[in-house]
């Protein structure tokens, strides 16, 4: 394994300096508890970012229950499992699930499966390097829970988006995940999204509760990216295997996710309408694809 790591280091050094200046952000999407809405968020957030002109890749890192292909209604020939086994390049596994969004489906084995973790990590790192000039952001949808390999990947990412719901169990489980990451190496920038919010104040309250505990006991700063309401549009979209941002762009869930993508791309400059070529492209996408 030392050999593998050494080869990877040499290969990375051989890349141009440009490689280190890549603007491609790697965003891990995770939760302690399962079924909280990670995959739906990942897919629709990717589409919203693409509508703002970003080039996005999503990797489905779920265990055996990989379902981004079901949610998006597109399926490629190869999966992320094939990439991790070294059978195909990451680009070779991509399928376009929306203009500007490339998806690598999960397949049978996964990022959470701990076997051959070091080899998989070095393969994936190498594959990610090949994407750096063409993508603005790579989203990795992790399944619920975590192991050494997946938490290491989360720690290596630029951002970690934790999906919470207002249930105490969701907070406790995500806290446990964050604790593990913060105690086993580097902690990325941590954002929380509160999903399935019923009362308008519930999102901010849940985020605040999580933030207080994480900042006090783990010394980790948390940013509340936004909240998503409990919305029948999400369920209708799943039934139709079409992302809700495409099927019902005016639903509250869709509008909130667009708002989060806007902040991610433009910061908090909501008062100033975007200008220039990028804004032109965004308007084009919003007009022709939504």
Interface residues with Mg ion (CB under 5 A) are 38-39, 62
Nearer to ligand ATP by C-beta: 131 or 261?
Answer: 261
Verify binding: residue 199, ligand ATP, rule CB under 6 A.
Answer: no
Verify binding: residue 202, ligand ATP, rule CB under 6 A.
Answer: no
Verify binding: residue 38, ligand ATP, rule CB under 6 A.
Answer: yes
Q: Closest approach of Cβ 63 to Mg ion, in Å? A: 9
Residues 72-111, mask of contacts with ligand ATP (x by CB under 6 A): ----------------------------------------
Binding-site residue total for ligand ATP (CB under 6 A)? 21
Query: Bridge partners of 163?
Result: 193
Contact partner at residue 234 from ligand ATP, Mg ion, none, CB < 5 to 8 Å by partner kind: ligand ATP
Contacts to ligand ATP from residues 239-268, by CB under 6 A: 253
Contact partner at residue 228 from ligand ATP, Mg ion, none, CB < 5 to 8 Å by partner kind: ligand ATP
The site for ligand ATP (CB under 6 A) is made up of 31, 34-40, 62, 65, 143-144, 195-196, 228, 230-231, 234-235, 238, 253
């Amino acid at each position: 394994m030392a050999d593998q790591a050494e080869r990877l280091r040499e290969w990375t050094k051989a890349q141009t300096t440009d490689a280190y200046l890549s603007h491609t952000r790697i965003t891990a999407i995770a939760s302690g508890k399962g079924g909280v809405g990670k995959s739906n968020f990942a897919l629709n957030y990717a589409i919203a970012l693409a509508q703002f002109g970003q080039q996005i890749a999503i990797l489905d890192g779920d265990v055996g229950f990989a379902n981004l292909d079901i949610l998006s209604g597109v399926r490629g020939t190869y999966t992320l499992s094939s990439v991790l086994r070294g059978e195909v390049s990451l680009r070779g596994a991509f399928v376009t699930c929306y203009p500007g969004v490339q998806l690598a489906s999960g397949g049978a084995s996964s990022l959470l499966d701990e076997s051959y973790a070091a080899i998989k990590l070095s393969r994936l790192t190498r594959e990610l390097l090949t994407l750096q000039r063409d993508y603005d952001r790579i989203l990795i949808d992790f399944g619920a829970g975590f192991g050494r390999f997946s938490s290491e990947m989360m720690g290596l990412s630029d951002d970690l988006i934790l999906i919470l719901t207002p249930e105490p169990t969701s907070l406790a489980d995500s806290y446990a995940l964050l604790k593990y990451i913060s105690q086993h190496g580097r902690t990325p920038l941590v954002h929380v999204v509160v999903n399935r919010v019923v009362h308008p104040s519930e999102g901010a309250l849940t985020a605040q509760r999580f933030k207080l505990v994480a900042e006090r006991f783990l010394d980790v700063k948390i940013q509340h990216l936004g909240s998503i309401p409990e919305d029948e549009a999400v369920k209708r979209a799943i039934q139709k295997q079409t992302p809700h941002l495409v099927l019902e762009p005016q639903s509250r869930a869709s509008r909130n996710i667009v708002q989060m993508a806007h902040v991610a791309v433009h910061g908090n400059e909501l008062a100033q309408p975007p200008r220039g070529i990028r804004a032109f492209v965004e308007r084009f996408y919003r007009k022709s694809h939504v």
